[in-house]
A and B are shown apart, each in its own frame.
Chain A
Amino acid sequence: MLTPEQIETKLDRILLKVQKPGRYVGGELNSVVKDWDSADVRVALVFPDIYDIGVSNVGLKILYDQVNQRGDALAERAYAPWTDMEALMRAEGIPLYALESKRPLSGFDLVGFSLPYETLYTNALNLLDLAGIPLRAGERGAEHPIVIAGGHSTINPEPMHAFMDAFVIGEGEEVIHDIINVLKLRNTQYAVRDDLLLALAKIPGVYVPRFYQPHYMDDGTIARVETLAEGIANPVVKRIVAKLPPPPTKFIVPNIEVVHNRASVEITRGCTRGCRYCHAGMITRPVRERRVDEIVAAAREAVRSTGFEELALLSLSSSDYTHIEELVAAIGEEFKDEKLTVSLPSLRIESVSIDLVDKLRGRRGSGFTLAPEAATERMRRIINKFIPDEDIINTTREIYRRGWTNIKLYFMIGHPSETLEDVQAIADLCKRVIAEGRKVAGMKVKLHAGVSTFVPKPQTPFQWVSCDTRENILAKQALLKRELRDRNIKLSWTKPEDTLLESFLSRGDRRLAEVIFTAWKNGAKFDAWEEHRRFETWMSAFAEHGLDPAFYTHRPRRADEIFAWDHITAAVRKKYLFQDFRRSLEGHIRVDCRLNCYACGILPTFADLRRDNPGEGWKCPDVKSPRKADVSDRGQPLAVR
């Protein structure tokens, strides 16, 4: 294994030949360089896309803090080198290394990948290969790190099961400590790798694929998933934290320009809106909020310790934060004398939202973003995001009137049962928005319609539906392109190939692992990048393994089908999801669940956590029933089906 000094010497010979060498050298303010030899457990946290995107990932930042706060462990970072750097690293024999110590990843005890979206899968394989770590979990021995993954896409871990020793299901803040505590015993109690993996598998929220065996029916669907070891959970229930811990504030300050040059504070986690297409909204329940004073203090500390020009207040739905008015007033007051841009994403379509952004001194002339998602009443009922046209027109008119010249509206096509009339309505609505805008602000007003294509996601009410076909998607996009020719309307859309790729990876089973492997071997990587699109490579990988992508993308699922991911649960019951799917077909909407609990399954699963944390913090009702006697003492979730 190369030493850090050897790696640095080799790097000095190649770094001037690559674009943005600052990506590969570390040395950022707030990065933590700990003494290698005094740590019992060394963790490499990997975001499998380039530094420019990965360095501001908040999830990994939380874990980086959690691990580095321990006296007995250290965490370092690695990102995917861009293709120019990768080629030189391979040519010079430089393995993937961590930025802090310049040590090869293969020398760490734990390599943790963040996989928030599916198009990172091939990059994860590529990075394991670049690190010299066997790609397949079954080929790793005592000398190799334990490789784990977490993040939203791993709520269906099966397509990547072959490459990860374990997955973290749900939130990482607490489980990372449980994992490190087990790894501390790797040279004593758990010297045999299988024993170590079994100990990990017994941690609530940790899924170790090798201890689960799916059995298939003749039609390729799942018959059942067998558990191969005693004492492990089936289903594996996601971990949550009862109370959001203090947010990280010492963000890494990159020395080069990256995508998000900003500090951020998560104001709430979870969402009560129940939009049926929304993966995040279904799998991050329950809603937990931070207090205003805690958010303001964290924002102050984050700005002080980073010097960033921008602060983002993060949540899935800012308008739904209980104390949003109070928060905005407090943030405005706290930073009133400073040159700081504050961004507040995911605002509801109503004039109050404009007041909120106004109070944050959001720069006029820059854009204002809203997400109506659909443009007919029928579609809005189906997806459970009901915003009347008049609200959209009144709000956008007011935004233009108050001096913003650019509005971005997000829509989605390809929702279940959508027709060309529903898509026509998107074009009509856009034209009306800009026509109304011109009345109040003249010809300079601009509209950006971002129209993506819906991908059915596991663990949502739409997990039963078929993805829209390539032909339909193209016809709908052609309609939009034809209709939205106004030179002040900009239209952007998703290529159908990208939608299909995301679609089969999202609802794949274990057999997709071989497809992913073959696609990677034949050159697929950076699948989220337009210039790396290799759809044909993916199609031939399917063919090579005798699988049909349409089985994953275009097959309406039986009502009673056992899904490949059913032995993993985000604690929202499948029965609830199916009932909500049925309500969708009937056009029934469900209002914000703060107003009325629909018993999605979160509360019975996490009853003890809720009982111990009553009141404001959660947006679920309090649990009054007495604690059951047989529940473990450390917040272990109890699955109730």
Chain B
Amino acid sequence: MRLRVAFSKQGALRYIGHLDLHTLLERAARRAALPLVYSQGFHPAPKIQIAAALPLGFSSRAEMADLWLSEDRDLASLRADLQSALPRDIQILDVQQADDRAPALQTLVVAAEYEATIPDEFASDLTSRLAALMEAESLPRVRRGKAYDLRPLMESLEAAPAESSGETRVLLRLAAREGATGRPDEVLAALGIPPESARVERIRLIFRD
């Protein structure tokens, strides 16, 4: 059976990368006594797919992974078992059974939404600055020695009302297709907001139908 698990990733686990998350899920499944399906060969690997890599340092309330099990299990009890086998900074939000023949999870993601909480000192004229950035024709950037254009990766930017005083939120919807992934820290930098001063959380993954 193919499981689709939605989960949050907070606290200390913001600093755990994509490959380590893979191992973490594998061990959690083993602790929960879930019968993972393994690949054949000399170094068998469990069949686990994570929808979209989350940049280091960002929290998320919208992660998703598929896990293949060699036998069917009751979803409710499985969810409880898996939750108790996970570190406290990962909370399961939902567990569904997915169609075994559906395409790989990574290929289904098209965009991601982020919420950036920024210090008030960077909040003046925010709406007009967001609009100005969206109106740019192109935003050439270099990342890891490769030139790319940030502009087409930005689908929408908007300011959101703050929940508490002293902070302002920005909602960013960025492309998240294979080979075309927008990074919220790059957008913040383009807005003149030092990325390390902001708290960024992924709040939604958008899938193609």
Q: Knowing that A12-B196, A25-B11, A29-B86 are A-B contacts, what are 7 other residue pairs whose CB atoms are under 8 Å apart, sorted by A's residue number?
A: A27-B12, A27-B88, A29-B31, A256-B17, A257-B19, A257-B20, A304-B33
In the complex, are the beta carbons of B87 and A16 less than 8 A apart? no
A621 at the interface (CB under 8 A from B): no
Given known pairs A305-B31, A307-B85, the reply for A22 and B20 (CB within 8 Å) is yes
Q: Out of A27, A257, A304, A305, name the residue touching B89 (CB < 8 Å).
A: A27
In the complex, are the beta carbons of A27 and B87 less than 8 A apart? yes
Most chain B beta carbons < 10 A, residue from A26, A27, A256, A308: A27
Q: Out of A12, A22, A307, name the residue touching B30 (CB < 8 Å).
A: A307
In the complex, are the beta carbons of A21 and B28 less than 8 A apart? no
What 1/0 flags go to B41-82 for Cβ under 8 Å of A? 010100000000000110000000000000000000000000
Q: List 21 A-B contacts (CB under 8 A).
A: A13-B196, A13-B197, A15-B15, A15-B57, A21-B56, A22-B15, A22-B16, A25-B11, A25-B15, A27-B13, A27-B87, A28-B12, A29-B28, A253-B87, A255-B12, A256-B16, A257-B19, A257-B20, A306-B31, A307-B27, A308-B27
In the complex, are the beta carbons of A307 and B15 less than 8 A apart? no
B156 at the interface (CB under 8 A from A): no
What 1/0 flags go to A456-480 for Cβ under 8 Å of B? 0000000000000000000000000
Q: Which 9 A-B pairs have the closest CB atoms?
A: A27-B12, A307-B27, A25-B12, A307-B30, A21-B15, A307-B31, A255-B16, A16-B57, A29-B87
A339 at the interface (CB under 8 A from B): yes
In the complex, are the beta carbons of B56 and A16 less than 8 A apart? yes
B189 at the interface (CB under 8 A from A): no
Within 8 A of B (CB), among A8-67: 12-13, 15-16, 21-22, 24-29
Within 8 A of A (CB), among B1-35: 11-17, 19-20, 23-24, 26-31, 33
The residues of B that contact A256 with a CB separation of less than 8 Å are: 16-17, 20
> Which residues from chain B sit less than 8 Å from chain A, CB to CB?
11-17, 19-20, 23-24, 26-31, 33, 38, 42, 44, 56-57, 85-89, 196-197, 199
The residues of A that contact B199 with a CB separation of less than 8 Å are: 12
The residues of A that contact B28 with a CB separation of less than 8 Å are: 29, 307
Given known pairs A255-B24, A307-B27, A307-B85, the reply for A339 and B196 (CB within 8 Å) is no
Most chain A beta carbons < 10 A, residue from B23, B26, B88: B23
In the complex, are the beta carbons of A255 and B196 less than 8 A apart? no
A257-B23 Cα distance, complex, nearest whole Å? 9
The residues of B that contact A15 with a CB separation of less than 8 Å are: 15, 57
Give the shortest distance, in Å, between A435 (CB) and chain B (any CB).
28
The residues of B that contact A13 with a CB separation of less than 8 Å are: 196-197
In the complex, are the beta carbons of B20 and A255 less than 8 A apart? yes
A25-B196 Cα distance, complex, nearest whole Å? 17
Residue of A nearest to B27 (CB): A307
The residues of A that contact B24 with a CB separation of less than 8 Å are: 255
Residue of B nearest to A21 (CB): B15
Query: How many of chain A's residues have a CB under 8 angstroms from any CB in B?
Result: 23
Give the shortest distance, in Å, between B80 (CB) and chain A (any CB).
16
The residues of B that contact A29 with a CB separation of less than 8 Å are: 28, 31, 85-87
What 1/0 flags go to A289-316 for Cβ under 8 Å of B? 0000000000000001111100000000
In the complex, are the beta carbons of B13 and A255 less than 8 A apart? yes
A370-B30 Cα distance, complex, nearest whole Å? 32
The residues of A that contact B23 with a CB separation of less than 8 Å are: 257
Give the shortest distance, in Å, between B114 (CB) and chain A (any CB).
16
Residue of B nearest to A99 (CB): B12
> Which residues from chain A sit less than 8 Å from chain B, CB to CB?
12-13, 15-16, 21-22, 24-29, 253, 255-257, 304-308, 339, 365
Residue of B nearest to A102 (CB): B12
Give the shortest distance, in Å, between A332 (CB) and chain B (any CB).
19
Given known pairs A255-B87, A307-B27, A308-B27, the reply for A16 and B196 (CB within 8 Å) is yes
In the complex, are the beta carbons of B87 and A28 less than 8 A apart? yes
Residue of B nearest to A307 (CB): B27
Most chain A beta carbons < 10 A, residue from B12, B20, B23, B28: B12
The residues of B that contact A26 with a CB separation of less than 8 Å are: 12
The residues of A that contact B86 with a CB separation of less than 8 Å are: 29
Give the shortest distance, in Å, between B12 (CB) and chain A (any CB).
3
The residues of A that contact B19 with a CB separation of less than 8 Å are: 257
The residues of A that contact B89 with a CB separation of less than 8 Å are: 27
Give the shortest distance, in Å, between B42 (CB) and chain A (any CB).
8
In the complex, are the beta carbons of A307 and B26 less than 8 A apart? yes
Give the shortest distance, in Å, between B157 (CB) and chain A (any CB).
22
Residue of A nearest to B196 (CB): A13
Residue of B nearest to A304 (CB): B31
A365-B199 Cα distance, complex, nearest whole Å? 48
Residue of B nearest to A308 (CB): B27
Give the shortest distance, in Å, between B21 (CB) and chain A (any CB).
8
A256-B38 Cα distance, complex, nearest whole Å? 21
Give the shortest distance, in Å, between B33 (CB) and chain A (any CB).
8
The residues of B that contact A21 with a CB separation of less than 8 Å are: 15, 56-57
A495-B195 Cα distance, complex, nearest whole Å? 45
The residues of A that contact B12 with a CB separation of less than 8 Å are: 22, 25-28, 255
Most chain A beta carbons < 10 A, residue from B26, B27, B28: B27
A24-B56 Cα distance, complex, nearest whole Å? 14
Give the shortest distance, in Å, between B36 (CB) and chain A (any CB).
9
A612-B34 Cα distance, complex, nearest whole Å? 46
A205-B116 Cα distance, complex, nearest whole Å? 55
The residues of B that contact A27 with a CB separation of less than 8 Å are: 11-13, 87-89
Residue of B nearest to A257 (CB): B20
Residue of A nearest to B85 (CB): A307
The residues of B that contact A304 with a CB separation of less than 8 Å are: 31, 33
The residues of B that contact A365 with a CB separation of less than 8 Å are: 42
A25-B42 Cα distance, complex, nearest whole Å? 34
The residues of A that contact B42 with a CB separation of less than 8 Å are: 365
Give the shortest distance, in Å, between B198 (CB) and chain A (any CB).
10
A22-B56 Cα distance, complex, nearest whole Å? 10
Give the shortest distance, in Å, between B175 (CB) and chain A (any CB).
22
Residue of A nearest to B10 (CB): A27
A22-B12 Cα distance, complex, nearest whole Å? 7
A306-B88 Cα distance, complex, nearest whole Å? 14
Residue of A nearest to B32 (CB): A307
A330-B129 Cα distance, complex, nearest whole Å? 68
The residues of A that contact B17 with a CB separation of less than 8 Å are: 22, 256
Given known pairs A22-B15, A27-B87, the reply for A253 and B57 (CB within 8 Å) is no
The residues of A that contact B30 with a CB separation of less than 8 Å are: 307
The residues of A that contact B197 with a CB separation of less than 8 Å are: 13
Give the shortest distance, in Å, between A298 (CB) and chain B (any CB).
16
Most chain B beta carbons < 10 A, residue from A12, A26, A365: A12
